[in-house]
Amino acid sequence: MALSVRDFLHVQLFLDIPKPTASFSGKTIIITGANSGLGKEAAKHIVALSASKVILACRSVSSGKAAKLEIETALKCRTDVLEVWELDLESDISVKAFANRVNHLPQLDVLINNAGISAEKFSLVYGTERTLGVNVIGTFLLSLLVLPKLRETAKKFNTTPHMTFVGSAMHSTANYPKKFDGDFFTWSCEKENVNLNNQYALSKYIQLLLVNKLASHIDPLPSTTSKESNKIIINSLDPCFCGTTGLFRDVSGGKRIFLKIFNLFSRTPEKGSRLIVGAAAAGRETHGGWLRAGEVRETVEMVRGVEGVERGERVWRDLVGRVEGLGVGVGGLVEG
Residue-range domain boundaries for the chain:
23-219+231-335
> Per-residue pLDDT for 101 more than 60?
yes
Confidence class of residue 4 from pLDDT cuts 50, 70 and 90?
confident
Q: Tell me the C-alpha distance between 150 and 252, whole Å.
A: 41
Residue 115's identity, in one-letter code, is A
23-219+231-335 CATH fold? Rossmann fold (3.40.50)
Residue 165 pLDDT level (bands cut at 50, 70, 90): very high
- In this structure, are strands 290-292 and 295-297 parallel, antiparallel, or unpaired? antiparallel
Cα 207 to Cα 209: distance, rounded to the nearest angstrom: 5
Share of the chain above pLDDT 70, in %: 89
Look up the pTM and report it: 0.92
Q: Which residues are catalytic?
A: 200, 204
Residues 6+ apart with CB under 8 A from 272: 38, 41, 239, 240, 242, 245
Whether the Cβ atoms of residue 288 and residue 212 lie closer than 8 Å to each other: yes
Angle at CA of residue 90, ends 302 and 241, nearest 5°? 45
Q: Are 148 and 232 in contact (CB under 8 A)?
A: no
What's the rounded Cα separation, in Å, for the pair 294 and 298? 13
d(CA 149, CA 107): 7
Query: Does pLDDT of 248 surpass 70?
Result: no
Please report the DSSP string for 189-217 in residue order: TSGGG--HHHHHHHHHHHHHHHHHHHHHH
Q: Given this model, what pLDDT does residue 241 score?
A: 85
Residue 159 confidence (pLDDT) above 60: yes
